[in-house]
Chain A
Amino acid sequence: MNFLPPTPRAPAGPALRVMRQRAIQAATVVLLVSTACFAIIQSLPGDIAFRIAAGRYGYDQVTAASADTVRAELGLDRPAWQQLLAWLGDLLTLDLGTSLVTGASVAGELGLYLSSSLQLAAAALAMALVAGATAGVLAASRPGGVLDRLTTLWVSGARSLPPFLLGLVLILVFSVHLGVLPAAGHGTAGNIVLPAVTLAVGLSGLFARVTRDTVAQIRQSDYVRFAATKGLGGGLVFLRHVLRNTGVTLLPYVGVQLLVLIEGVVVVESLFAWPGLGHALVHAIFWRDLPMIQATALALALLVVALNTVVDLGTLALDPRPRRRELVL
């Protein structure tokens, strides 16, 4: 190991680098997700024009003639690569097109879906973080104690319950039997509770586990012990040294788990009829609403990139140590 010579810290350098890397990643994601979505839809069984016609006019009205009308109108008879290029070209000009089924602007609908998905994800994340981190810190104060063992039980229990099953159980208990919370819908404050709890339960267990291990490890560190012999009380040591250093480990972990959150959103939204991106995506696939599928999938993918950027910037703010450094062995 070598001691690094003192260097002045370039204040904006690392943050700019993160933004640049993530911007490149976002562009790559747009290209790959668009192409993959397109390819998957093309390979689905059934005639797309028939499905869209069914979405527009109802199943009873679908005839070969109406399907042909749809096909001609939307240019579905063009070769696949031309359709893909047309979509990518529109995307460059930020034109997401119109829904093939409802004829409304995709961008306008996407805004609504995105905001309600974000609401749900934020509520779930906040619940999971508060519950998980608190449980973890308490468990770490006495490793091997009652609370520590309860946390372990909670982690394994929460992880073994898939969200769709947990969601059904919650609906059965709180909506059907107790009748205290609405099972589905959107609009009142009570609507968000069950879907957010469903998402939060699985995450909170993981956060509790990681927080517990990190806090226990940091309490053993040289700098925490030195802080104590400097004369700092337990509370001050926790606030000034344990908390921030725990964040350095926990935040990137939260970043990784956000992926689980986004996946969960798709399932949970459908289950609770929450009008978010996941819900929209499932419906768009059902009706082969090509622009809508592309746009929602893209939005979900870009959401992951955006959240990771936020996590990266947060980690940079918490931990001043350089990420990249020349190998010195």
Chain B
Amino acid sequence: MSMRLNDLTVTHAGTVLVDVAGLDFEPGVPVTIVGESGSGKSLLAHAIMGTLPANLLARGGLSVDGRSYDLADRGNRRHLWGPVMALLPQEPGLALDPTMRTREQVAEGAATFATDKRSARRAAGTLLASLGLGHAAAAFPHTLSGGMAQRVAFAAATIGGAPVLIADEPSKGLDRQSRTELAELLKRHLGGGGILLTITHDLDLARELGGNVLVMKDAHILEHGPAGRVLAEPAHPYTRRLLAAEPARWRHSWTRAEPPAEAPGGPLIAGKGLGKAFAGQQLFADLSVAIGAGERVSLSGASGSGKTTLGNVLLRLLPPDTGHVDHVPALRGGRLQKLYQDPAAAFASRVPLRDSFGDVLRRHGVTTGRLDELMASLRLAPALLHRRPGQVSGGELQRLAIIRSMLLDPALVFADEPTSRLDLITQEETISCLMDQVDRNGAALLLVTHDVALADAVTHRRIPLGLEQGAAAGVTTSS
């Protein structure tokens, strides 16, 4: 088994999006491409697979086991899908059919499915069991956690026996535990003599996989080499910049800051004896949380551990099953703000941003000058306001969401996984903007994240939930 990519270019209306001279793939040696959003790394993967959007033009060649394929023809590799090439999709939760049980979705990828459905189903059952999902064979996708969905997708992609596996941002939205499990799966594929191409902005995943790492920016590969060298002693300045953007290495005035002296007047939010069960599962019980003025607190834990739910209970957006939450009067009148994980869902999609912001200014009597000032200090061009939410990037939109919350001079900001969908550099930029504002206003911060390094860099103290919390705190989870 061998695969080589020759002289690939991907263009859109004359703009070059990917330009790569050549790339060799060997069995058992993982190739990982890292870089920020828009660097062209995902397009490279889809150009190899033949799944580029129709408005993009690919040129170049791919040779698989001595046979050459012209990449301009997107249909000529279709017969390779399944038996030779497989794609592990990003967002496995969306890549699984919501109306079909998992075993069927895996079984249909088997080569024998068209002729002998029963043996395909048996093979699917065996594969799922070997991935620790034997109990979920008859489950529907909406009942799976992100990590479980990713393992089902892995089973479905690889049951056809394809030696070439392309993984496109496979760890997006996964917590640390699920990411480690994912890396094990990918290594298992390599162990069987497979070829692996992984596209990711998650440097930890790249480290865990090892092999060769390529750093991509603005359509070009800037640096490549063994993972141990590139990710430890980078030669290119951009790679150094990328590495410095990992939360564990952040150096800002607000990183790992000292907690403020206890403010007079008691905590802003005091929750006592809080308990909440969700779908028959106890998320937390008899939990007491107090957040003081100017304090920065993070809630961390795996997916499904109830960290977002606890945050919403503390904000009084959800009622707790037991206990109660008190807010000081200073939080009234919009001085309690929430940042959402997906900013696109937090703006009216068909309304220009200028109008959405105009409503906030009018409703709360804020001057336009304040908006202009915030736009400038978060380095956003005023012209962005004329666009709709879908027409600005995810990082820019999250910064606009920060501005929207800061317009009301909040006493407390609740940030729910605000950067889990952003790449490292954009994450640092976004968190910097948030923390500068939090610092300037003396606001308290409640951060929900599954990234412990991020939590430690940004907040004074961390409240662990779920398995991390363990039995010591008297909390039971069954995830």
What is the interface of chain A, defined by CB distance below 8 A to chain B? 1-7, 9, 221-223, 225-232, 236, 240-241, 244-245, 248, 318-322, 326-329
Contact = CB atoms under 8 A, between A and B. Distances in A.
Interface string B36-51: 0000000000000101
Interface residues of B, number: 53
Given A222-B94, A326-B278, A327-B318, A248 B139 contact: no
Given A221-B94, A326-B278, A1 B341 contact: yes
B108 interface: yes
A2 B142 contact: no
Given A223-B96, A320-B99, A329-B340, A229 B81 contact: yes
- Interface SS of chain A: helix, strand, loop or mixed? loop
B338 to A, nearest CB: 8
- Interface SS of chain B: helix, strand, loop or mixed? loop
Contacts, number: 124
A5 B304 contact: yes
Contacts of A225: 51, 89, 95
Task: Give the top 6 A-B pairs by smallest Cβ distance, nearest first.
Answer: A231-B82, A230-B109, A222-B94, A226-B95, A320-B140, A229-B87
Interface of B: 49, 51, 78, 81-83, 85-87, 89, 91, 93-100, 104, 108-109, 111, 114, 136, 139-140, 142-146, 148, 153, 156-157, 160, 278-281, 303-304, 308-309, 312, 317-318, 340-342, 478-479
Contacts of A318: 99
Given A227-B108, A230-B86, A321 B98 contact: yes
Given A221-B94, A230-B109, A320-B142, A4 B279 contact: yes
A55 to B, nearest CB: 55
Contacts of B308: 2, 328
Given A221-B94, A319-B99, A226 B87 contact: yes
Given A5-B278, A6-B139, A240 B100 contact: yes
26 contacts: A4-B278, A5-B478, A5-B479, A6-B144, A6-B145, A7-B143, A7-B280, A9-B140, A223-B94, A223-B95, A225-B51, A225-B95, A226-B156, A227-B97, A229-B49, A229-B82, A229-B157, A230-B157, A231-B83, A240-B100, A241-B97, A244-B100, A320-B99, A320-B142, A321-B98, A328-B318
Contacts of A3: 93, 144-146, 303-304
A64 to B, nearest CB: 67
B318 A232 contact: no
Nearest to B136: A6
A6 B143 contact: yes
Contacts of B114: 236
Contact of B145 (A5, A222, A226): A5
Nearest to A326: B278
Contacts of A230: 81-82, 86, 108-109, 156-157, 160
A244 B318 CA distance: 35
A157 to B, nearest CB: 30
Contacts of B160: 230-231
Contacts of B109: 230-232
Contacts of B78: 228
B142 A231 contact: no
A28 B156 CA distance: 49
Nearest to B312: A329
A322 B153 CA distance: 22
Contact of A222 (B91, B281, B304, B309): B91
A195 B3 CA distance: 64
A321 B140 contact: yes
A88 to B, nearest CB: 41
A329 B87 contact: no
Nearest to B145: A3
Contacts of A321: 98, 140, 142
A5 B284 CA distance: 14
A119 to B, nearest CB: 32
Of the candidates B86, B87, B279, the one having the most CB atoms from chain A within 10 angstroms of its own CB is B279
A4 B142 contact: yes
A245 B81 contact: no
Contacts of B340: 329
Nearest to B97: A223
Given A226-B153, A329-B340, 15 more contacts: A2-B308, A6-B148, A7-B281, A9-B143, A221-B94, A222-B95, A229-B86, A230-B156, A231-B83, A236-B114, A240-B97, A319-B98, A320-B98, A320-B99, A320-B142
B37 to A, nearest CB: 18
Contacts of B140: 9, 320-321
A228 B81 contact: yes
